[in-house]
Structure 1
Amino acid sequence: MKAIIIFDIDGVIRDVGNSYRKAISDTVEHFTDSGWRPTMEDLDNLKSEGIWNNDWEASQELVYRYFEAMDKTREEVGLDYDHIVEFFQKRYRGKNPQLFDGYIADEPLLVSPSYFEQLVANNIAYGFFSGATRGSAEFTIKHRLKLDNPVLVAMEDAPSKPNPQGMFDAISQIKSTPGNIPVFYLGDTVADMYTVAKAKEVKPERNWVGVGILPPHVQLSQTRQDDYAQKLMEAGAEIVLSNVEKLDLQLIADLIK
């Protein structure tokens, strides 16, 4: 085995600009009584704080901040977190969640199955560590990408990023993983890169490589793309790429020399 690659899913494997992110904006708009609908840039600014990996919590936080700007305390607002989750899920998963008939049904994929076949053929193992729910993650990697029961650590399985425990768990589920094998983590947020930095602190004996991936929505503007890439680099990325498949075999070899 030459290396292990652990992938985040949202913004890396699938484009969530019109699904997860749209669901956040819908939720905030609903719970502020149509007072505010966050833009993509608003969401990027929140995510850049590095701690809002859970989109339900991110939605709640944005609602609270809206009312705080109107001089209301969080106690006065008194949001019901379960109601936020329920509303969000109806938008994202759908009113019939087992059918995945919400925004999730229209998420563009950002990688092809052949990419994973190429990794395996060249002795590179892989798995997934995502803040998405297991149902949502499996819908993408098993149903849509047709990957055969890959290693997956989802929201329900580990503490939220930037805690690296989920990445450690994913690695431990991959067979034959001695500590000297380099590990790449591909993610699109500051929290993802912080996760790699934390992993280096906890297990410095292993070679950890953080690879930032630019989500599609920031690539529409060169200015936003440059700004987003800079934030990923400052958070610990060794390189920032426009797409997962840019991490080809030659670049993998170059990064672990």
Structure 2
Amino acid sequence: MQHYCGWQPSADVIDALKAEGAWNNDWDASLELLRRHGAELPDRAALIDVFSGFYFGGDPDGDPSQWTGFIGDEPLLVDASFFATLSKRKLRWGFVSGAEPPSARFVLQQRLGLQDPPLIAMGDAPDKPDPTGLIRLAKALGASAEGVQVAYLGDTVADVNTVIQARERWPEQPFVSLAVAPPHLQTAEQAAARDIYEQRLREAGADQVLTTTEAVLHWEGAAG
């Protein structure tokens, strides 16, 4: 937004937009924020190029070692031991992400060191809250077996809505919505804003709001 109109929306503004449950795609969210701000809207393809320049700092389909953008500085919410613990407990796991495939693979494989993790990324399925990607991954991980519970952890209302729509499309399958506030709200200074955000997740239908991503290891459904 700052690139196009000199306005840098606050985290509160972005969180409020995300709370509507319909803006999981960052490109579309950026266009919507520009529209609401009264700015002239750029061509979507041009916006994507600008976004990629900032985020990747290089060719998204090129050598990740040459990327100099924000992607290299994003905080990791967990480390590889988190997934090792899940596997040790005989729990199958995977990812349904709104990120572009090169971005998702870079974070999962190069930064976290995961070996070819199950992944549904942007373009592999319709954007969330459409549940197609979640259902596809769940089936790939064996969810068709009777009584197998599928839990999906996310940090947006769109993630919660994805689970709700998955239940509607596949009512025989038990789905659980786990939610967590995003990293920028995980500080003492943001306690009030975090309370509001977590309440929005509950109102959207989250079955349980966790304190951190790692707290899923202490959730009753993941107990070892």
| Distance in structure 2 (CA, Å) of the matches to 1:200 and 1:106 | 36
The one-letter code of the counterpart of 1:58 is: A
Q: How far 1:64 moved relative to its partner?
A: 1.3
Q: 82, 85, 100: which is aligned to 2:45?
A: 82
The one-letter code of the counterpart of 2:14 is: L
| Distance in structure 2 (CA, Å) of the matches to 1:250 and 1:193 | 17
Match of 1:23 in 2: none
Match of 1:45 in 2: 16
Contact 1:196/1:210 (8 A) holds in 2 = yes
Contact 1:215/1:242 (8 A) holds in 2 = no
| Distance in structure 2 (CA, Å) of the matches to 1:56 and 1:93 | 14
Written as runs of structure 1 = structure 2, the 5 A alignment for 1:103-182 is 103-175=70-142, 177-182=144-149
Structure 1 residue 194 corresponds to structure 2 residue 161: yes
| Distance in structure 1 (CA, Å) of the matches to 2:147 and 2:128 | 24
Relative to structure 1, is the Cα distance of residues 129 and 179 closer, same or farther in structure 2, using a 3 angstrom cutoff?
Answer: farther
Contact 2:55/2:70 (8 A) holds in 1 = yes
Q: Secondary structure at the match of 1:38?
A: coil
| Distance in structure 1 (CA, Å) of the matches to 2:41 and 2:193 | 35
| Distance in structure 2 (CA, Å) of the matches to 1:250 and 1:51 | 28
Q: Secondary structure at the match of 2:2?
A: helix
**What's the % identity of the aligned pairs?**
41
The one-letter code of the counterpart of 2:50 is: F
| Distance in structure 2 (CA, Å) of the matches to 1:118 and 1:246 | 12
Q: 232, 235, 246: which is aligned to 2:215?
A: 246
Structure 1 residue 62 corresponds to structure 2 residue 25: no
Q: How far 1:123 moved relative to its partner?
A: 1.0
Match of 1:215 in 2: 182
CA deviations 1:90-131 (Å, max 9, x no partner) are 000113443232000111111011111111111100010000
TM-score, structure 2 normalization: 0.91
Contact 1:180/1:205 (8 A) holds in 2 = no
Coordinate RMSD, CA, aligned = 1.6
Q: How far 1:139 moved relative to its partner?
A: 0.4
The one-letter code of the counterpart of 1:231 is: R
Contact 1:185/1:210 (8 A) holds in 2 = yes
Q: How far 1:178 moved relative to its partner?
A: 1.3
Contact 1:185/1:209 (8 A) holds in 2 = yes
Q: 196, 203, 216: which is aligned to 1:234?
A: 203
Match of 1:91 in 2: 54
Relative to structure 1, is the Cα distance of residues 199 and 90 closer, same or farther in structure 2, using a 3 angstrom cutoff?
Answer: same
| Distance in structure 1 (CA, Å) of the matches to 2:38 and 2:192 | 30
Q: 194, 197, 214: which is aligned to 1:225?
A: 194
My pick for the range that moved more, 90-99 or 239-248, is 90-99
TM-score, structure 1 normalization: 0.80
The one-letter code of the counterpart of 1:47 is: K
Report how many aligned residue pairs link the two structures: 217
CA deviations 1:33-53 (Å, max 9, x no partner) are x1x210111100111110101
Q: How far 1:242 moved relative to its partner?
A: 2.3
Gaps of 5+ in 2: none
